[in-house]
Amino acid sequence: MASPSEAVRAAEAVVDLARSRPPTLGPDGRLVCVDGPAGSGKTTLAAAVAGLTGGHVVHVDELIEGWEGLFDSGDQLASAVRPLAEGRPGSYRAFDWHAYAFADPVPVPLTPWLVVEGVGSGSPAIADLVTVLVWVSVDDDLRLARGLARDGAAAEPHWRRWMVDERALFARDHTEQRADVVVDGTGSTAPVVRSRRGGEAP
């Protein structure tokens, strides 16, 4: 997101919509998934949602097996999220990007608000448990610039391959079309809240 105030504005729209809907993660829990291309501002928005709700945040970057693991997050997402719907803590194997290997399991506590952010967080593997699915995007040039500023110029080949894989993943899962809230990651326009999955409010 372009600024903290714009992230909070978008988060307020997300939280208001989630609160207007029945719990989906067990009898009292709500699950917000913040999906969209890398570098679009998902992490910032997820932090703002957590700040408004006191929610726990899970980052998909920690669930996938590096640059090549984008299509294989479903089991890890289910392990992190589904137990909460049954009144039990979840867990996932954390991927260490420096060692480039999975490390120790990470617990996911029972919480009234769970926020899962990252590419593929809106996976069909947990779609039935999602209270609100958010789509965040910016243009490719901006998100690539953001990514290389964070990861360094040497990561550009990884980023370009990742961007191709993202498009395939989103096309397969129809993520943007299923989103309840659409957010401009530059903050230039207000969030669009849809009354039904895949359609803008009249």
Q: What is the pLDDT of residues 13-60, one digit of tens each?
A: 999 999 999 999 999 999 999 999 999 999 999 999 999 999 999 999
Q: Which class for 45: exposed (0-12), middle (13-18), buried (19 or more C-beta within 10 A)? A: buried
Neighbouring residues of 150: CB distance < 8 A, sequence distance ≥ 6: none
Residue 4: band (very low, low, confident or very high) from pLDDT cuts 50, 70, 90: confident
How big is the CA angle at 98 (ends 96 and 104), to the nearest 5 degrees?
25
What is the set of domains in the chain, with CATH numbers?
4-58+111-193 (3.40.50.300)
Is residue 202 predicted with pLDDT exceeding 80? no
Q: How is residue 191 written in tokens?
A: 């969030």
Distance CA 118, CA 36 (A): 7
149's enclosing H/E stretch is helix 140-151
Structural contact between residues 63 and 77, judged by C-beta atoms closer than 8 angstroms: yes
Distance CA 143, CA 121 (A): 18
Structural contact between residues 168 and 61, judged by C-beta atoms closer than 8 angstroms: no
Distance CA 48, CA 43 (A): 9
pLDDT of residue 3: 79
pLDDT of residue 30: 98
C-alpha distance from residue 165 to each of 119, 132, 172, 193 (Å):
10, 24, 11, 27
Is residue 201 predicted with pLDDT exceeding 90? no
pLDDT of residue 80: 98
Question: Position 27: which residue type?
Answer: P
Strand order in the sheet with 132-137: 56-59, 113-117, 30-35, 132-137, 181-184, 192-193
Neighbouring residues of 64: CB distance < 8 A, sequence distance ≥ 6: 70, 72, 73, 76, 95, 120
